Structure 1
Amino acid sequence: MTESMREALGAGISPHDRRDLHAMFAQALIERNRQGIAVGASEVADHALQARPAFPPADAAEWTCRAAREANTAEAFESTAALVVDGLHILSLEDGQGLSDLRRKLLLEGVAANCAREPQTAREYLRELRQIAERLEPDARRCLAEEAIDASNITVQDLALLEDMRQLLQLALGGLLPNDPARVGLIAREAAVLNRIPGPAAKLACETLSEEALLASAASEASPKLRAIATATHLLCNHHAHGPESRLDMARGLSAYISEAQQPDFHLIANCTMVIDGLAAGHVGEADDAIDRISREAASATHHPVSWYPFHLRAMRAGMQADFKAARRWLEVGIENTSPATYVDAATSAWLLLTQLSRMCGVSIFHVPILPYLELPALPKEFEGADFQIAPPAPSGHPLCEPWGEVVIDLAEASRHTTSHGRNSRAPIGASPDLTAHWRVGYAGVMARLLNDRDGARAIVEDLAQQRFGEIPHDAQWLASICHAAQTCSEVESKKAAGPTLEILRPFADRNALTAMGLVFAGPIASFAAPLAQMIDDHQSAETLGKTAIAASDQVGAVFFGAKSRLDRASFLLEAGPASDRDEARTLVDASRATIDRFGLEGLRTRLDAVEQKLDVGPTAAATSAAPEPATPPELPTNAPEARATEAIFVQEGHTWRLGWGGLEMRLRQQRGLEFIALLLERPHEEIHARMLMSPGAPPATDAATRADLASGDLGIADDSGLEILDEQALQSFRSRFEQARAELEEAQANNDLGRVETLQREIDFLAQELSSATGLQGRKRRTGSDNERARIAVRKRVKASLDRIRRDLPGLHAHLSASLRTGSICRYAPESPVSWQTAA
């Protein structure tokens, strides 16, 4: 491959000589590949296609197939589709041994590239694959069917294409014996296809098949790979047939199968399950660990399907803790880390979470036209032309409302990005094919809250309840949709719908509800069910559900929902309880007010005022002042049974710690996190800076000035604010070399100098990583952590590690400490009711 050959291609040579030169180029590149030098398949294919017929057709088709696979991996679906057409054309002119296998591979790549962009073309390829399968032996037929379904994008909305997939699977199943382990994979894949087909019949068949696949994988000698496929499909298709604890066990088993079978594709399913069902069941530590794993996998993958997802999960967790500044920062990072092909999903996720956060804060972030963007395939007629918006402009100064710099959440632009990259822009990742039914529930809420049409909303929820919500599919959104329907039912005071809705929610009352792939924490299910019980005068159930809602919120650290659940319970006590309950109601209201003031939960302010009016107690001076001081929560009687422990022990005995709660004891070896916890237990309700915990002995915060100093980190101690990761001179040097290397890379690519290209690409990747770690948004320099920041991180990590260890043997103590300890720059132990701790030996 010489410069003169390249010049010859640009000269006015004859077509025959040009084909010969292209053939020489292709052969030279193939020889490089044999020598172990990385060669781009697309470049070889390009020369091979232009060299026809001077280049062997089989080789041209093979490199065209490789190039199509590379393009598919890079989500360049239009290029893939064109390469597949070229490759199939070459094979149609030839008839030789070995070419049928190449044709099958090209058809599979064509199915993968066209499922979303050109479903009709994908159907044609799939039908040809079915014709090929009909001529194969059972084992080969099964393998081809599995490859075809794995290549297909089963998230598409084209029902005819889904039906073709199902027919191919049934063809493969027809040649297998009932006890054949190979049936497991085919049944599981058929269940996954059925999961995309709307309607109760398809959903029932899907759940049945996924259950059958799971049982068959356990009963037969199925390989770890087949067990992984069966378990992953069951988790995707049976969201509510098992409780969160059972689903967590399945997800742990799936992780073991993945490791044994080396099937990393299922890691996301296992970890998503652990996040969603972990938070649903109150296992916060396990959910956070799963988020960490998702983050590591996304960071290490070259083409991660949802690179933004772990950042938005962290935003959801920050929102649960009412840390709105952190939530907004994680959302911003998620948008920055998305690709054009997944921008629509990241933008939709950000919109959903920001909408929830804005309701908590009582502010508006921006105006969003909801429905024109979504373009659902079968919108209810009520939605046509709708353009709902969120509240008036927000006050300045709120963390959620600060300028977003270059990051813009533009849903219309997201839709254009997605369409141009061949993805189906009509349904984000994880969207249900039965969205019309879910939208009907959503529209009832819109009518009640935005359009002030209570009668219309009441008619919808009563119609749904009369059918026992039969038209709502049992998918990942089902439980959240029932909760939203319950909320609307309470708001429009429909006793007719309250009873049936309560009976559906009652078995799930001890869980939390999450939706949108776990990106939105909807709250304790008991908090949706309790008002329904009160509405139909089932006061005993309302009493139990109200307490459960508070305990569930506290267990996962959901600050907003804890305050809301306390206000709901206070309201119930004032309306239905005896006069003696007014003291408890007053305590609950005081606790809610303290939380609202401390975290800025202005979305609950109107609710607080209404309950205080019932209580005939006006807002305190602190609540009405222009600049309220963070209030110390009053002591509350806890509603969690474990919190009524008569014995609480946290004693250091030499190099071990003796811990006791509710009559049970455990021992732990010395850990720094246990020391921090012990210091906080000895000074309940006092605000202690993390640096004071690291160096105990400093006085507590006792007045407003001291608390302000603590919040700002002004402790009278010199604080190393951290060094710049790269100083100005080094930063300019890196940037200059980065631009120079990019120019050299373009030159090397133009000269087809593959060795130089590889070297420069490695250098550019290194420089980009260094610059990314040294600069933040809009080029701002990052700094190493300050003393205060390092102390905050150290205390949080060590306390979390100790709590995780306590959880194994004393879950009651773990639940109490998780709900009562607050770690950050300012740390505090704030129990709802006094606990008598034995802290001295």
Structure 2
Amino acid sequence: MWQGELADHWEPCHPFLRATSTLATWTFASIGASTCEVVEHDDGTLVAVDRLRGETFEVDRNDLVVYRLDVNALFTHLMNLIGGRTRFDAAMQNDSVRRIGQLPARLGAKTLHFSVRIDDASLLAAATELSGKQTIVLMVPTLRGCNCDIDAIADRFQVIITAADELFVATSNGITFDTAEISSLRFRLGLGEDSQVNYFRVVGQTREIQFNGKRISLPDSIGLWYLAEFLSRPHKTLDPVELEQARTGITARSSNSGTGERLDDETKRDYEAELIELREDIAEAERFNDPGRLEQLQTEFQKIADELTKSKGRDGQSRITTDAGKSRRNVRQQMQRDINKKIAPQHPELANHLLKAFKRSWMCYQPDEDAGWES
């Protein structure tokens, strides 16, 4: 991305581009193509680091221009924020337009393209080339000062034009997405408003949560991180050791290393209650001649029964736990604490839904009805 390509739109794009400093190489108008790494201090002063010459010197923000922006790295980062998938392998006749990938399901999994040129003629040319049976989203750095009729382009070519500096916003913690703009984009794509979508998203250091039309914001935490993992994979039993490793990056010592009782009393009581409920469900599946559900329930029953059996030795005494048992307890306690102390006071309906869905096993999110959680 060159300053010349953005022309008069360069200044409005500066806040967005400065938030991508780790993805860009910076230079200064006064020294041409000399590339430097720019560090911004807490007091707002900027220091340039010229690693080739081993020099550092203060610079003014107005002297900075982007010499090269790594578009692949930038859009991989942006797509990860909204849960989309990157794909850069589609060649275009128009060399200023390139395919980025697929937007997430809540945005219709539409194909996303990016154009650095935002003058009327370039946008019209891009829309003409991209037009087809499937709606395409064309992202541009900004639409400020653009006189092109984007609604007319959408009607004629089925190309929805959106601005990166509106969909994504720069904060002190980097880049995050604007939920209102996501909702607006859904509406423009004919998917309706975003108000009824259930989501459990990270925005900066906050969890934006919406369930059955009610939205809450909570400081992100360990328990909420675990909950997000389970909600993204309903009806799938997750390994607690792998969950802890994914969150911390620390590998457990060994599945056989002893750390205390295999199952604590609370977990045993939970398991025993689950077995009682499962017996009732199994009997119901047998009455209604439902072999698929019966097999699933019997498998789940045997898994819990085996875990209880393994927790005691031949003498009836509790066995020493493994890292799996300790991890299971840690994950369960973190999630229980956050559901009861953070979610319940602000959203009792969601807390009740989660407690019911985890009633059989804290290692498997099993809602009675699919909540359709989106990232």
Normalized against structure 1, the TM-score is what? 0.14
Which has more radius of gyration?
Answer: 1
Relative contact order higher in (CA < 8 Å, ≥ 6 apart): 2
